[in-house]
């Protein structure tokens, strides 16, 4: 079923190999049930390339206040709740993603709140600056740099969102921050984080270096295949 024409004039289609309709269904991933709509949901319906990070970040969440920004279907939030987080809030600008996150939380019997919100606006609201700080913040935004020409603006966006997150963390808090823009290399990401730490006047240490899993291999002859990277940081 053609949906539109691509940049080269070819029809774009969404269908299964068999031609049969793929009905939405529950799938157990990482020990949690998720409602998947692969044909009609966002992109692939679930970001499998982050499943290892869901478990890694959850290790820092027991008894903590956790903010999952750009939460999509709430995977980081749900794993944090299962790990015993005291409070969990997920934010995303997509209403359908938030509905899916709430549905997933209810299905798994987990206590986590989800709100439709622009993360940049939420961080910049003066009232929120006076809120009790978070113990763990996850930043897993969509790609800000979809082309090389957009990198300069993307760097400003990544710095801004990481700066605000650092300012909202309690001393000794954990920031898990990622980029899925293949145009943004590790040097650029580390530079952004260093600038954000300086402006926030916070001492920031690396706990872990993050990368895409082995089933998303990087080809040395195809730089575009290396696209997911991040850091887990302690913010003093």
Average pLDDT of the chain is 90
pLDDT for position 153: 76
Instruction: Give the pLDDT score at 183.
Output: 80
d(CA 151, CA 140): 17
Q: Is the pLDDT of residue 2 over 50?
A: no
Decide if 90 is inside a domain. yes
Q: Is residue 38 part of a domain?
A: no
pLDDT at 193 over 90: yes
| Mean pLDDT for the stretch of residues 18-25 | 88
Q: What is the CATH number of the domain that holds 222?
A: 3.40.50.150
Range of the domain at 55: 46-235
What pLDDT does residue 43 have? 56
| Residue 116 vs residues 12, 51, 61: alpha-carbon distances, Å | 30, 23, 22
- Our count of domains for the chain comes to 1
Confidence of residue 5 (pLDDT cuts 50, 70, 90): low
Query: pLDDT class for 131, splitting at 50, 70, 90?
Result: confident
Q: So which residues are the catalytic ones?
A: 180
Task: Give the tens place of pLDDT for each residue, 66-102.
Answer: 999 999 999 999 999 999 999 999 999 999 999 999 9
Is 37 part of a structural domain of the chain? no
What distance in Å separates the CA atoms of residue 77 and residue 110, rounded to the nearest whole number? Answer: 10
Tell me if 100 is assigned to some domain: yes
């Amino acid at each position: 079923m053609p949906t539109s024409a691509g940049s080269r004039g070819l029809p774009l289609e969404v269908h299964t190999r068999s031609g049969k309709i793929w009905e939405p269904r529950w799938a157990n991933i990482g020990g949690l049930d998720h409602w998947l709509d692969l044909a009609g949901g966002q992109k692939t319906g679930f970001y499998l390339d982050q499943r290892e990070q869901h478990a890694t970040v959850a290790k820092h969440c027991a008894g903590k206040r956790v903010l999952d920004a750009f939460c999509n279907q709430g995977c980081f939030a749900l794993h944090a709740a299962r790990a015993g987080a005291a409070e969990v809030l997920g934010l995303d600008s997509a209403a359908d993603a938030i509905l899916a996150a709430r549905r997933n939380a209810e299905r798994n019997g987990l206590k986590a709140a989800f709100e439709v919100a622009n993360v940049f606006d939420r961080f910049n609201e003066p009232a929120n600056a006076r809120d009790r700080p978070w113990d763990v913040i996850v930043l897993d935004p969509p790609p800000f740099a979809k082309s090389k020409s957009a990198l300069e603006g993307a760097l400003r966006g990544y710095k801004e969102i990481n700066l605000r997150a650092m300012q909202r963390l309690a001393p000794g808090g954990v920031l898990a921050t990622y980029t899925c823009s293949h145009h943004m290399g590790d040097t650029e990401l580390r530079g952004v984080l260093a600038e954000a730490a300086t402006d926030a006047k916070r001492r920031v240490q690396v706990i872990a270096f993050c990368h895409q899993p082995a089933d998303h291999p990087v080809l040395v002859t195809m730089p575009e295949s290396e696209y997911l990277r991040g850091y887990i940081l302690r913010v003093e």
